[in-house]
């Protein structure tokens, strides 16, 4: 600096010091050291180990040491810091292995946890793939779903610091996320969509406080139900494919007496009127199944038809029985009889099944509808419904005369109950 910079040498020394930490003295007991490390060291050994790394150690009792760390060990401030040094100097491999004392008691995991996993396995067994979406959506999702102004699903929980514009509120429905997943797949030429999702929705019922959280199950179907082959024509999914999935799920969970009934047109927000069913059990509404309306598909930039379902898992868990009861295997053969009646188109065919099953007829084992016909020569506003009743006795083989008489009585009661007629 003198030769090149033209500086001038000043006599004396100038020493600029920073803040020098004051020495810290920490009290260390032999008992606490051995308790934490699980060792059997004595005071002399601990003193020797700490002194070897320039710690000042003094005896202030029979089993108590006063330890002062050197100024460069600014990381030493607590008793456990000294015990850590003792463990390091002793050798971690010298510390004996010990196991925590655990109670021999066990407990069952929560029912919701077990049933959630069971539902996921059932849905994947149906050929569905689980979708996992963010619990956020944008605040225009309600508009795209055509929700009414007073719909609870418009009561959003707003995010204070949203990461993106499409994640500004907590989701109030699983459907927007499933539609986004559907759009993502179709844009990559995956047009057969079989997705389901399990997750919570958040609805702000009160102006203040936490939102109401409900665990939901949602699913979506779209595309071809059967792949194109040289002897099989490509057939698209329809309403009954999705209804069959929901019915199969409820059956696998041993939930009986679930009812599918037509959802009133004024309650069909994002589904097509006349193509939507409410799912109920006793007085509890479990969800819905139906076809998405063309307006909703257009709002999500989707061009192929789709069917969705929603189930309230919070209510569904309470309906799942804790155990199954096995029944007696019948020893005697069953026999069946068919019947065809003409009823108004407004009458749901499922009502016929419920009516016959609730008649309390001991010989009726099951009833199923195998044909519905609405074309000519059936009159306008009418439909032909054919159903098959299976009869069986647990004590004897049924004779034709007995079965025919019972079947005639049941058919007559159905005709009277539904103001039906017989085909000409």
Where are the domains positioned within the chain? 25-94, 111-319, 335-417
Topology agreement, domain 25-94 and domain 111-319: no
pLDDT of residue 38: 87
Q: What is the pLDDT along the chain (424 residues), one digit of tens a residue?
A: 888 888 888 888 877 777 777 888 999 999 999 999 988 899 999 999 999 999 999 998 889 999 999 988 889 999 999 999 999 999 988 888 877 777 777 778 888 999 999 999 999 999 999 999 999 999 899 999 999 888 889 999 999 888 888 899 999 999 999 999 999 999 999 999 999 999 999 999 887 788 999 999 999 999 998 877 888 888 889 999 999 999 999 999 999 888 899 999 888 999 999 899 999 998 889 999 999 999 999 999 999 999 999 999 999 999 999 888 888 888 999 999 999 999 999 888 888 998 998 888 899 999 999 999 988 888 888 999 999 999 999 899 999 999 999 999 999 999 999 999 988 7
User: DSSP assignment, residue 322?
Assistant: S
Greatest CA separation for the chain: 132
Distances (CA, A) of 369 to 353, 390, 397: 8, 12, 25
CATH 3.40.50.150 fits 335-417, yes or no: no
CATH number of the domain located at residue range(s) 111-319 in this protein: 3.30.930.10
CA distance 250 to 115: 12
User: DSSP assignment, residue 421?
Assistant: B
Q: What is the third-level CATH fold of 25-94?
A: Phenylalanyl-tRNA Synthetase; Chain B, domain 1 (3.30.56)
User: Edge-to-edge, what's the strand order for the sheet holding 212-222?
Assistant: 129-130, 193-203, 212-222, 306-312, 284-292, 271-281, 259-262
pLDDT of residue 424: 76
pLDDT of residue 20: 72
Of 61, 75, 73, residue with least CA distance to 32: 61
User: Is the Cα dihedral 224, 193, 246, 126 positive or negative?
Assistant: positive
Is residue 336 within 8 Å of 381, Cβ to Cβ? Answer: no
List the structure tokens of 260.
Answer: 């599918």
Of 255, 257, 252, residue with least CA distance to 358: 257
pLDDT of residue 23: 84
């Amino acid at each position: 600096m003198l030769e090149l910079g033209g500086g001038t040498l000043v006599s004396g020394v100038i020493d600029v010091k920073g803040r020098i930490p004051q020495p810290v003295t920490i009290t260390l007991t032999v008992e606490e050291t051995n308790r934490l490390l699980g060792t059997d060291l004595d005071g002399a050994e601990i003193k020797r180990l700490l002194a070897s790394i320039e710690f000042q150690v003094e005896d202030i009792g029979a089993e108590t040491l006063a330890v002062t760390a050197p100024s460069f060990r600014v990381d030493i401030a607590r008793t456990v810091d000294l015990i850590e040094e003792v463990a390091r100097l002793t050798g971690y491999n010298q510390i004996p292995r010990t196991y925590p004392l655990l109670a021999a008691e066990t407990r069952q995991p929560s029912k919701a946890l077990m049933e959630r996993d069971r539902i996921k396995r059932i849905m994947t067994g149906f050929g569905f793939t689980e979708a996992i979406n963010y619990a956020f959506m944008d605040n225009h999702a309600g508009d795209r779903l055509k929700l009414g102004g007073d719909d609870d699903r418009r009561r959003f929980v707003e995010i204070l610091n949203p990461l993106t514009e499409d994640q500004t509120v907590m989701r109030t429905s699983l459907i927007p996320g499933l539609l986004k997943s559907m759009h993502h797949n179709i844009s990559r030429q995956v047009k057969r969509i079989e997705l389901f999702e399990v997750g919570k929705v958040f609805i702000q019922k009160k102006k203040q406080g936490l939102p109401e959280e409900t665990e939901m199950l949602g699913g979506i179907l779209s595309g071809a139900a059967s792949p194109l082959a040289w002897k099989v024509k490509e057939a698209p999914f329809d309403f009954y494919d999705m209804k069959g999935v929901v019915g199969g799920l409820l059956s696998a969970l041993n939930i009986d007496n679930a009812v599918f009934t037509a959802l009133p047109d004024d309650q069909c927000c994002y589904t097509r009127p006349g193509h939507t069913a409410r799912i109920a059990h006793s007085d509890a509404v479990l969800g819905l199944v139906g076809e998405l309306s063309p307006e909703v598909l257009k709002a999500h930039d989707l061009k192929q038809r789709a069917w969705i379902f929603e189930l309230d898992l919070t209510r569904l868990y309470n309906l799942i029985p804790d155990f199954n009861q096995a029944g007696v295997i019948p020893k005697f053969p069953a026999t069946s009889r068919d019947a065809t009646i003409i009823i108004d188109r407004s009458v749901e065919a499922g009502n016929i099944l419920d009516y016959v099953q609730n008649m309390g007829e001991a010989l009726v084992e099951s009833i199923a509808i195998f044909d519905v016909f609405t074309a000519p020569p059936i009159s306008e506003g009418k439909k032909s419904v054919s159903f098959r009743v299976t009869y069986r006795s647990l004590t004897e083989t049924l004779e034709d005369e007995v079965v025919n008489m019972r079947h005639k009585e049941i058919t007559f009661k159905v005709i009277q109950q539904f103001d039906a007629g017989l085909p000409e």
